[in-house]
């Protein structure tokens, strides 16, 4: 049985980093290089973060294949595909620093594919003007994560894995640490820190079909930050990747990398027609993810999908040797299921993949506006706007992780850190009685995830969103009415309950935000408001009022710099047919 009586163990660090994916590790490396004490905590084993699920590539305007590419054009592509609700500061910082970040990873041993001249190779990715996506076959994220983990270990950076941060501790208006469930020891931990960095990814897994593993990317970062007083932005913006697997069941939603389309894969409906000709005749399969995902959804809705409600992704017109070299993981995965993708098409359908919404931060330093609290990676909102450009998530982690770590270390070194931070007593911050514990939390989790897929998925409307919100509120009432004592639960059920509370809160935010944005922009598509509205070229920002109720405001997007605006005016774009 899991009984909360008191703190079992207490730890202290200068900087606590919640999440040990690429963003968290790169932040830790920057802090360690500056001589600042830090501690990583992770739900999963060190080296098994969600970063490794990003397969296709990482963007930087190196110009190794297309010398005319430059960072301003990368920024212009990012803004266009974000439908101009991106944070221009975030876009500039990432795109300008991307080439150096790639070179740094290569120096640290990341085995990027190279071209005939020995330079880092680059491939096309959806909605990009030039070949700027660097890659390691089709397992780029894993290669980058392995490189960063090894670098961190070489530097002696500590990571406590198997730890669930479920509440941030505050002293007055400052975050001063966290309460943690320790899965390995099955105990309650308190970590005291002068600063806390949230690098706990996004919330794509609040949907029943997701490219994430079922028990991660549930919105931990958003729940922790909101309850601590931070603001959240653009929570309606969830990206549905066009190509997730549809079968077998244990693989449902698992990503079929965009690299398949980047290397020339064709999308075919059940009639074997290459249907992107009807939706995007110039860009074809390399149009933006939101456009391709909606096209697939429409084909399925019109009865032109497979019996398993998917479509086909075909790369069999390429030679087997080419596929094995460029797409080794995809080849091996499908081969393990008895499918040779050099002879037969893959069956795919859209899957929840990435959350563009998240914490409102100052991207020069990662500051959330709450004293002591910072955020990086998918947890932070701004770079991607209404639709993330494929290959931009990995570069965000290493660029902004480094910048946040460096800025935070300068701040710490400029302060007098001799004064001890006062930590409030446990009962002031946490009581098991505050939570409506469930005897079967996973059953309720499945119910909410199905609700979100049905009511706040790829194609939305007011009726469906309102029905979803009503059903969610009814589930919330059932949770409260059916609550049990925590003393009757084992540790695994306590852990699952925390996931349930997170998914419930974050799902409510997504539904409310999707109702408020009465237009279609990027990944947010309202069939009752199918057009983009210039009055909605703005961000929706959310926080909790003094009564704990959600409130929002609409904020104007900052201006784009002259250099990036010139790149936009130049009108760079890729015509897919030049690849044929």
Residues annotated as catalytic (active site), given as ranges: 241, 261
Under 8 Å between Cβ of 237 and 256? no
Under 8 Å between Cβ of 253 and 401? no
Q: Where are the beta strands (DSSP E) in 114-265?
A: 122-123, 133-134, 158-161, 163-171, 174-182, 187-198, 232-233, 238-245
Which stretches of 376-490 are DSSP H helices?
A: 392-413, 426-429, 441-455, 462-481
Provide CB contacts within 8 A for 227, sequence distance 6+: 167, 168, 544
Under 8 Å between Cβ of 513 and 536? no
Q: What is the DSSP letter of 370?
A: S
Between CA 472 and CA 453 the distance in angstroms is 12
Greatest extent of the chain over all pairs of C-alpha atoms, in Å: 71
Provide CB contacts within 8 A for 468, sequence distance 6+: 451, 452, 454, 455, 456, 511
Report the DSSP pairing between strands 174-182 and 373-375: unpaired
**DSSP bridge pairs for 160:** 41
426 class by beta-carbon count within 10 Å (0-12 exposed, 13-18 middle, 19+ buried): middle
């Amino acid at each position: 049985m899991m009984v909360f009586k008191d703190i079992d163990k207490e730890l202290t660090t200068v900087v606590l980093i919640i999440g040990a994916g690429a963003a968290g590790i790169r932040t830790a490396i920057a802090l360690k290089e500056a001589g600042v004490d830090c501690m990583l905590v992770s739900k999963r084993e060190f080296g098994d973060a969600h970063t490794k699920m990003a397969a296709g590539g990482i963007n930087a305007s190196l110009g190794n294949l297309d010398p005319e590419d430059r960072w301003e054009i990368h920024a212009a592509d990012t803004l266009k595909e974000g439908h101009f609700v991106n944070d221009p500061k975030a876009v500039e910082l990432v795109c300008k620093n991307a080439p150096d970040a790639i070179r740094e990873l290569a120096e640290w041993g990341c085995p990027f594919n190279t071209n005939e001249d020995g330079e880092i190779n680059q491939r096309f990715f959806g909605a990009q003007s030039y070949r700027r996506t660097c890659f390691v076959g089709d397992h780029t994220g894993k290669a980058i994560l392995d490189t960063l983990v090894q670098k961190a270990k070489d530097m002696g950076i500590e990571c406590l894995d198997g730890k669930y941060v479920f509440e941030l501790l505050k002293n007055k208006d400052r975050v001063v640490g966290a309460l943690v469930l320790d899965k390995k020891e099955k105990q309650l931990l308190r970590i005291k820190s002068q600063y806390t960095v949230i690098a706990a990814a996004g919330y794509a897994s609040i949907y029943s079909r997701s490219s994430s593993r079922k028990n991660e990317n549930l919105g931990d970062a958003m729940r922790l930050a909101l309850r601590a007083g931070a603001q959240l932005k653009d929570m309606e913006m969830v990206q549905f990747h066009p190509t997730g697997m549809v079968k077998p069941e244990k693989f449902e939603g698992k990503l079929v990398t965009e690299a398949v389309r980047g290397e020339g894969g064709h999308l075919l409906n059940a009639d074997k027609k290459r249907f992107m000709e009807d939706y995007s005749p110039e860009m074809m399969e390399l149009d933006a993810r939101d456009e391709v995902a909606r096209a697939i959804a429409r084909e399925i809705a019109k009865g032109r999908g497979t019996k398993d409600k998917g479509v086909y992704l075909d790369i069999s017109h390429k030679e087997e040797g080419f596929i094995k070299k460029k797409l080794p993981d995809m080849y091996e995965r499908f081969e393990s299921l008895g499918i040779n993708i050099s002879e037969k098409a893959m069956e795919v359908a859209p899957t929840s993949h990435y959350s563009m919404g998240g914490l409102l931060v100052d991207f020069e330093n990662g500051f959330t506006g709450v004293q002591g609290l910072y955020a990086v990676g998918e947890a932070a909102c701004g770079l991607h706007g209404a639709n993330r450009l494929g290959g931009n998530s990995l570069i965000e982690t290493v660029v902004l992780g480094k910048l946040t770590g460096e800025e935070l270390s300068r701040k710490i070194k400029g302060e007098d850190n001799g004064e001890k931070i006062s930590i409030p007593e446990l009962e002031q911050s946490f009581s098991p009685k505050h939570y409506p514990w469930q005897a079967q939390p996973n059953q309720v989790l499945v119910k909410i995830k199905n609700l979100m897929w049905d009511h706040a998925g790829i194609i939305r409307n007011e009726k469906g969103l309102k029905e979803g919100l009503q059903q969610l509120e009814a589930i919330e009432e059932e949770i409260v009415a059916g609550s049990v004592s925590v003393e009757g639960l084992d540790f695994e059920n306590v852990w699952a309950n925390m996931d349930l509370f997170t998914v419930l809160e974050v799902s409510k935010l997504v539904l409310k935000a999707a109702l408020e944005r009465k237009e279609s922009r990027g990944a947010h598509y309202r069939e009752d408001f199918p057009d983009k509205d210039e009055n909605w070229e703005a961000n929706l920002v959310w926080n909790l009022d003094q009564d704990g109720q959600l409130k929002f405001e609409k904020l104007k997007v900052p201006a784009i710099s002259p250099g990036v605006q010139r790149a936009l005016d130049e009108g760079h774009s890729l015509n897919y047919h030049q690849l044929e």
